[in-house]
Structure 1
Amino acid sequence: MRATFALRNAARTPLIRFVGKRSVPQSVDHTPRVHPAAPTSSLPDSFAAYREKAQQHGPLGRAQFTGTIGGTPGASLGPVRPEPGQFFDRAELPARFGRLPWSQAEIEAIETGGASLFA
């Protein structure tokens, strides 16, 4: 018997049973309102006015701000060097912390999914 074929052709019945008839509200008020947890009790005049004051990981406006994050290019900060004992890349570490070369047996074990270890 082919169970997958029988399951594919079976009629789908939903597991959720809804009680009663579907009813859509006749009148829904879609006027914008201030959220109860909002810091102010008034809506912004426009989206542009909101965007001028909004902050998300920094100012959202297009004006350049001096003295704040993003006000100056990173190149003007000068070169960045790690402190003694800190390294930016793994290749800068001493040789004892470097990557070990793969042996041919390990490569074969990975390529065969481990079957070569038991053959």
Structure 2
Amino acid sequence: MRATMSLFRSPSIRFLGKRSAPKSVDHSPRVHPASPETSLPDSFASYRAKAQQHGPLGRAQFTSGGLGGRAGASLGPVRPNEGQFFDRAELPTRFGRLPWSQAEIEAIETGGASMYA
């Protein structure tokens, strides 16, 4: 019975007047106030030519021998520095994974209910 009572409850927020969008809002593009740039780019193409996102986005760098201009094998072997490891299996055995006990497996499979049953 209490569940149906909550359906008839009136909202506690009251708005005055009719819903309408203001007519005086300026939607023209502007530079963000915190942007280091002082002007907008002329076009998206000119913006993309200068933009950086995990490396240059322009095609000129790729074809002129820059990033992606050579095969990865030509860059030489990749080895970690002293004390750094690429894979967990390369770590000393004290940092290896511990085997799961049967009780832990049972607790995970039952969502923890087996710990209290």
Shorter chain as denominator, the TM-score bin is 0.5 to 0.7
Residue in 2 aligned with 1:16? Answer: 13
Residue aligning to 1:107? 105
Aligned mates of 1:114, 1:34 — CA distance in 2: 57
Distance in 1, matches of 2:88 and 2:97, equals 9
Residues in 1 aligned to 2:77 and 2:13: alpha-carbon distance in whole angstroms: 63
1:91 Cα deviation from its structure 2 partner:
1.4
CA RMSD in angstroms comes to 3.4
Task: Give the TM-score of the pair, scaled to structure 2.
Answer: 0.61
- Corresponding position of 1:82: 80
CA-to-aligned-CA distance 1:43-94 (integer Å, 9 cap, x gap): 4322222222333333222222557555544332222122344322121223
1:13 shift after superposition: 3.8
Q: Sequence identity, in percent?
A: 73
Of the three residues 53, 57, 60, the one matched with 2:57 is 60
**Residues 90/58 of structure 1: CA separation in 2 closer, same or farther (3 Å cut):** closer
Q: Which has the larger radius of gyration?
A: 1
The residue number in structure 1 matching 2:44 is: 47
Aligned pairs, how many? 115
- The amino acid of 2:76's aligned partner reads G
TM-score (norm 1): 0.60
C-alpha displacement of 1:37 = 4.8
Instruction: In structure 2, list runs of 5 or more residues that go unmatched.
Output: none
Quick one: structure 1 residues 23 and 104, their matched pair in 2 at CA, closer, same or farther if it must change by over 3 Å? closer
Gaps of 5+ in 1: none
